[in-house]
Amino acid sequence: MTTPLPDPADSLPHRAGHARPTVAPAPRRALVAGSVGNFIEWYEFGVYGFFATVIAANFFTPEGGSELEGLIKTYASFGLAFFFRPIGAAVFGRVGDRIGRRPTLILVLLLMTGATTLIGLLPTYATLGAAAPWLLTLLRVLQGLSAGGEFGGAVSLMTEFAPPGRRGLYGAWQSFTVALGLLAGAGAAAVLATVLSEPALHDWGWRVPFLLTLPLGLAALWLRLRLEETPPFRAVPQVERVAETADRGEVARAVVLGAGRIMGWAAAGYTFLVVMPSYLQSTLDASFRQALIATVVANLGFALSILPAGALSDRIGRRPVMLTGAALVAVLAFPLLNVVQDPGSSALAQGVAVCVAGSVVGLMAGPGPAMLAEMFPTRVRCTGLGLAYALSNAVFSGCAGLIITEAIKRTGDADIPAYYVTVTCAVSLLALLPLRGDHHRGTLRETTGTPTDPGTPPHGKETSCG
C-alpha cells in the first residue's frame, strides 16, 4: 500500500486560526525540484543554439575557414551530444529504477552544472588550437549523458507525485520549464547582443550565460537535496527493483512506440525554438538581434500553450490534444515559414507566425511527458520513458540543425525546415492513433506485468498517485 501524500490544504491555516507549518506539500516540492533541473538543462542547450554562429567562429572556424562549414561542425557537435542521451537515459534510468529518483536527479544535476560551467571557461581555437573544438565536444557529451538521465528522473518524479486527475498538468511542467529555459537563454543572448559590441560579444560576452549556470545549479542542488522519494517507488520491494524479470522485448517495443509518438514534438520544437536564429541569419540574412527576437516570440507562444494543453489532456485525454498539435504543425508549417521568409511581411505578421508555430508545438509538449509515463510501470519507468525521449531527441532534435543547414547548403531550398517538421509530425500522427482515449483516467502501474501500449488495458498491480 502506498503512503498517502500530504494534503495541499495542510499548508493552509485552519479555520479556527491555528496555522499549520507552511512547508510546501510533497507534490509541490517535487514539482519545483524536478522543474529546476530541466530549466538549467534547457537554458544551456538554448544558449548553445542561440550562440551557434559565435561558437562556430570561436571553436570550429580556423583562420580563413568557411563560416557555413564552421556552423555545420558546430551543429555536428551539438548533435553528437544528443546521441549520448540514450546512453545517459539507460545508465541513469537504471539507477533511478533501482536506487531511487532522488539520487539520480542529484547526480545528473551535478554533471550538467559542472560541464556547462567549464564550457564558459574553455579556451578558443585561437588560443588552444585544434584541441579546443574537441574539448568543447567532450563537454557536450557529458551534458548529453546528464540530460539523458534528467528527463526520465524528473518526469517520473512529477507524475508519480501528481494528485489524481492532474498527471498531465504535473508532467507538463517538465515541458514548461524547457520553454522557460529556452526563453532565459534567448533573453540572456538578446541582452548581451544589445549591451555589448559585436567584438566584445565574440571575444568574451558569449561566456557569461554559461558561467551563470553555476549559481543556478547550486540553488537547484539545494532543492533536490530536500526531496523525498516518490510513494510508488517506495511501494516497490527492493528485491523487485533489482530483479531482471521484465520482458525486454515489450520494453523495447514501448520505447520505440513512445519515440515515434514524440518525434514531431522533438523535430518541430528544435526547428522552431532553437535552430531558428541560425536559419534566419544564414539563410534569410537577418541580424543576430532580429533572429533572437523572433526566437523569443516563438518560445513565448510555446510556453503559453504547454500548461493549458497538459491540463486539457487531463480532461479529454492525451490523444486528441497531441493529435491536434501534430496535425496543426503539419498543416501550418509551410504557410508560417513563408510569412517569415517574405520580405514584404510586416513585423507584426512575422511575430504572429513564429508565435503560432511555438504554440502548436506546445500542444504536443504539454501532454507528452504524462503520456510517456503512463506507458511504463514503476520498475522500469525512469529507463523506459527516458530512452523513448532520448532516442527521439537524439535523431530528430540533435540533428535538426545539422540536417536543415546541410540540406539547404546542398539544395538551396529555403523551405527545408517546413519539409522536416511536416514529415516528422506525420509519423507522430500515425503513432498516436492507437493511443487509447481514456488511458489518462487510469492509475500508474507498479511492478507486475510488462510495459504495454496504452491502446490495451493495463495489467498487473496498480497504484494510486494520490
d(CA 384, CA 31): 21
pTM: 0.81
What are φ and ψ of residue 247, in 5° steps? -75, 105
Q: How far apart are CA 170 and CA 149, in angstroms?
A: 19
Alpha-carbon gap, residue 301 to 270, rounded angstroms: 14
Mean pLDDT (the chain) is: 83
Cell matching residue 56:
562556430
Q: Residue 146 — φ and ψ, nearest 5°?
A: -70, -40
In angstroms, rounded to a whole number, what is the distance separating the alpha carbons of residues 401 and 270? Answer: 8
| Contact between 451 and 251 (Cβ < 8 Å) | yes
Give the residue among 56, 54, 76, 47 at the shortest CA–CA distance from 398.
76
In tens, the pLDDT along 117-147 reads 999 999 998 898 889 889 999 999 999 899 8
- The position carrying cell 490544504 is 9
* Alpha carbons 55 and 213: distance in angstroms, whole number: 17
CATH superfamily ID and name for 23-231+247-441: MFS general substrate transporter like domains (1.20.1250.20)
Count of residues in the chain: 466
**pLDDT at residue 51, rounded to an integer:** 83
From first to last of its 466 residues, what are the pLDDT tens digits of the chain?
444 444 333 433 444 444 443 334 678 888 988 898 889 888 887 788 778 888 888 888 776 566 667 777 777 777 788 789 999 999 999 999 999 999 999 999 999 999 999 999 999 988 988 898 899 999 999 998 998 999 999 999 999 999 888 999 999 999 999 889 888 987 888 888 889 988 999 899 999 999 999 999 999 999 999 888 988 888 877 656 655 555 778 889 999 999 999 999 999 998 888 777 778 777 778 777 777 788 788 889 999 999 999 999 999 999 999 999 999 999 999 999 998 888 888 888 888 988 999 999 999 999 999 999 999 988 899 999 999 999 998 888 878 877 888 888 899 898 999 999 999 999 999 999 999 877 777 677 664 444 444 444 443 444 333 3
Backbone angles phi, psi at 445, to 5 degrees: -75, 155
For the chain, the C-alpha Rg in angstroms (whole number) is 22
Q: How far apart are CA 455 and CA 256, in angstroms?
A: 15
Cβ–Cβ under 8 Å, residues 398 and 148:
no
Rounded Cα–Cα distance for residues 171 and 191 (Å): 31
Question: What pLDDT, on a 0 to 100 scale, did the predictor assign at position 3?
Answer: 42
Non-local (6+) Cβ contacts of 454 within 8 A are: 371, 374, 375, 435, 436, 439
Residue found under cell 535552430: 275
Cell of 407: 540540406
Nearest C-alpha neighbor of 159 from the set 169, 149, 150: 169
- Cell reading at 102: 532522488
Q: Domain residues of the chain, as ranges?
A: 23-231+247-441
